[in-house]
Amino acid sequence: MSQSRSTALVTGASSGIGAAYADRLARRGHDLVLVARDAARLQTLAARLRSETGAAVDILPADLTKPADLAALEERLRQDGRIGLLVNNAGAVSPGGFAAEDLQPLYTLVDLNVTALTRLAGAAVQGFLAHGRGGAIVNLGSVVGFAPELFAGVYGATKAYVLALSQAMNAELAGKNIYVQAVLPSGTKTEIWERSGRATDDWMMDVDDLVDAALVGFDRREAVTIPPFEDAALFDTYETARKALLSQFRASKPATRYRT
């Protein structure tokens, strides 16, 4: 890795959103650490980016639902002082819900979408603080976090968690030169849908458009970037209403409607 270029670590980098981030970040002057299960795809992507951009690219084949693979990646984030950006993109959609005969896919989804994302974010923060240079974390969520009833099972809940975690991290770390961005796509044309037994649709956003928009939000240091929202005031209204609830939380008695 170059000593003068900041390094970005991208999970889920072998295809879709992660591969698009890798391409854009290499063209922005970052060296890369690319993480995914598919080593062959990572090799192909890494070779292309080295050739086209001159970036130094490491690949780390890993399954983030496996404790040993996850621990190794956490260690890289803590120890490698060149890493200044984590793109926490690896994720999946469960094919079923709680009425399915086999609930293991739901639990595996939590391992990937929640546990792995959280542990990597934590390791990145520890690394940024230890090396004293600050950094940034991009957490990929989904607009389904606002509408968890659209998908059976836990997918929407995991994405609501990503937004809440990102907001909590930003509040905690803003004074420590660490920026956290939550990116909330709507339907995006990636392989994630095929793997869950669903098909993409014409209304879905192209991956390149999604990532380019997310990077505009990144450059603006938005805490939450929602590329499909044309009317940004809708989210501002939502946030204002959410924060207004805080005034109702401190009470020594139940609300009047609950007194019988």
21, 107, 155, 258: which one is catalytic? 155
Q: Is 258 a catalytic residue?
A: no
Handedness of CA 215, 73, 175, 160 (dihedral sign): positive
Name, in order, each residue with C-beta under 8 angstroms of 117's C-beta and a sequence gap of 6 or more.
88, 90, 91, 139, 162, 165
- Measure the CA–CA gap between 91 and 16, rounded to whole angstroms: 11
Nearest to 226 by CA among 120, 140, 121: 140
Q: Give residue 8's identity as a one-letter amino acid code.
A: A
Give the integer Cα–Cα distance in Å for 48 and 172.
38
Backbone angles phi, psi at 45, to 5 degrees: -65, -45
> Residue 66, SS3?
coil
Q: Which amino acid is at 227?
A: P
Cα–Cα distances in Å, from 221 out to 13, 46, 181, 217? 23, 28, 7, 6
* Sign of the CA dihedral running 163, 204, 23, 15: positive
Whole-number Å distance between alpha carbons of 69 and 19: 20
Active site residues: 155
